[in-house]
Structure 1
Amino acid sequence: MKPPIRIKNLLVTRANTTICDISELTIEHGMCLGVQGINGSGKSTLLRVLAGLESEYSGLVDIPELYHPVGFVQQSPFLFKGTVQTNLLYGAKARNIDQAQDKAAKIATLLEVHSLLNRDVKNLSGGEKRRIALGRTIILSPSLLLLDEPFTEMDSSGIELVCHYLRELQTTYSTTLVIASPTPLPELLASDRIVTIG
């Protein structure tokens, strides 16, 4: 059995204000974990800790090596200037990933953004931008994928599409998913476990 991610007594504070407080959390390898809570409950902070972007905390956060690389799509995904294709390939080119063009084309097809490859990102809808940010992260083949409110600004067809794709990642590649949301996750996602924080 592969070792899980373990969190114990995690505490993040800012100016004497508690931002995130989790007594204990175990994330099993290959599972889809939904993290729910109201705004300000610490969901985004938890993801930042798991992504290694938050270093000022106390407590135990044990992430075994098998969960690397880590992919993180933030709540307000940042896209680079240029086309959709430029964005999808950005990280892959920087890391010299083999067959990056082919992988980008496949991901664009699966996320139904292949017709947008030559479009400037400033002309995309909010839901399209989220799918591009997800695709740009997926092309790096993360073992742990962290998604902060990924379904915001998506219509029902976009949500269904992304849910099916995430489940495929989980079942085919044993990708571990941690998805933060202020509302219940779509039933299509069939999360293995839901935790509420805050």
Structure 2
Amino acid sequence: MNLLARAEHWYGAGAHADDFTLINVDLAIGAALYRGGQLISGAHGIASEFGHTKIMPDIGRPCFCGAKGCLQAYCSIHSIIEQSCERLGRQMPSHEVMNPCFDGLMAEYAAAEIDIRTVLEQASHYLGIAVANHITMQDPEAVIIIGPPVARMDELRGAFFTALEQNTFPALRRRTRLHFKPRDQGAYARGAAAMVLEHVYAAS
């Protein structure tokens, strides 16, 4: 996550923002925060565990962290696959093939061969609430969301933005820029290069 955030700060949508949050929706959900132009972590050296903030506390789906109702248990690729397999009566795929399995599910859904709209709408809705809570609490200049196009698909866009509008403190919603980006494996290399540059400039 820190490499992805550095790549955005130096070369991407965060290049002109000193305060932004990067959210990566992948098999798991991670986040990284830039504040005052610096990548930050907590007092114990742990980066933001955005995926383990609670969206349905106590009564929600179990998460691998041992708690219930985590955002990750509804909105991660792993969770979307798991819920889709439950709905379709399919066996859960192994970890190694989850990304192509997700792509296959989305292709089947787009072709109207399967109905997983409820799963996808729920993921978009809860992601919108989580982003709204983050904006309200942290007041970032921008939020960059990387990952599958769940919140960008035309038929799911409404669920995300309705939840975002309804749950963000009004004074902040219009002031926070949102960027949606597809996954880019090259971003890790750019982030590593940015990390080297940071050390060079810090030492000079």
Normalising TM by the smaller chain, what interval?
Answer: 0.3 to 0.5
Higher relative contact order (CA 8 A, sep 6+): 1
TM-score scaled by length of structure 1: 0.34
Q: Which structure: greater strand fraction?
A: 1
TM-score scaled by length of structure 2: 0.33
Q: Which structure: greater helix fraction?
A: 2
